[in-house]
Structure 1
């Protein structure tokens, strides 16, 4: 079965990576789909291609051969039709995530090929991690190496050092 794990992944953190690893153990093919949203261009730290590269490096270092990384814009259900997938995988950290994701799952079922959404609960040790927090800690020079894959650490250092100059 081919599943899609969509998100912004700005940047990829260990909570995201945990969902990727766990999904890759249960499904023949996992596409990590990085959202491109031109209207939010100024809000992203990393470009879509930079996010794709970070995820590809992390996946390659973990030798997950059934995981691919792609970008999409527009409606997720339209992207899923194009790549012939009918299952969305989403990670949940808390009840607040569930409420939002449940609403999106119901909306997605109304369109296109009526995709199913499967939820993977965040591992307890990553349930507090968010991309927003990672960026904030890194911007102030904090150590995020225990919260993100090595590829993210390197990308954050490079990006934030170039911004400071």
Structure 2
């Protein structure tokens, strides 16, 4: 069985993430969505909340498993028996970062390949960071995230307070 890993913070999961998940799942028998933390990001949702979100949004996709991890990606990939890491690319800036990361990952474990999927043109500008910023300023995010995620983000913004109010 060929296993792939698609890692990310998914804070929140976006339509862009869902596109990469659907397409990545076609490349492998099992796609493990690895929900992680990133020390350089300030999450809006806890790991548990993000796990629940991603599990709900991917529940209808065969061969997709969602798990949390807090380790080096290559150690996680190895523990999942993954042969590939799936990464989405939106723009040149993504490529530069991902290219460097893929090189470092190859140095750590050359048995796991990184596969890049170009974002759907209509979804290229979507980034979780921007979705949160739009929501915090009271903007509509329904074109960027799944419907139930809209509700969760709006509820969280109401709890923490909008900016610019």
Q: TM > 0.5 between the two?
A: yes
Structure 1 residue runs of 5 or longer lacking an equivalent are none
Quote the Cα distance in structure 1 between the aligned partners of 2:157 and 2:147: 15
The residue that corresponds to 2:130 in the other structure is 133
Structure 2 residue runs of 5 or longer lacking an equivalent are none
Whether 2:109 is the aligned partner of 1:112: answer: yes
The residue that corresponds to 2:89 in the other structure is 92
The residue that corresponds to 2:47 in the other structure is 48
Question: Offset of 1:128 from its aligned partner?
Answer: 0.7
Counting helix residues as a fraction of each chain, which structure ranks higher? 1
Q: Is the 8 A contact 1:13 1:148 kept in 2?
A: yes
Quote the Cα distance in structure 2 between the aligned partners of 1:11 and 1:113: 31
Q: Deviations over 1:74-110 (max 9, x none)?
A: 2001111111112100000011111110111111111
Question: Offset of 1:138 from its aligned partner?
Answer: 0.7
The residue that corresponds to 1:102 in the other structure is 99
The residue that corresponds to 1:143 in the other structure is 140
Q: CA RMSD in A?
A: 1.6
The residue that corresponds to 1:3 in the other structure is 4
Q: Is the 8 A contact 1:77 1:113 kept in 2?
A: no
Give the TM-score, by structure 2 length. Answer: 0.91
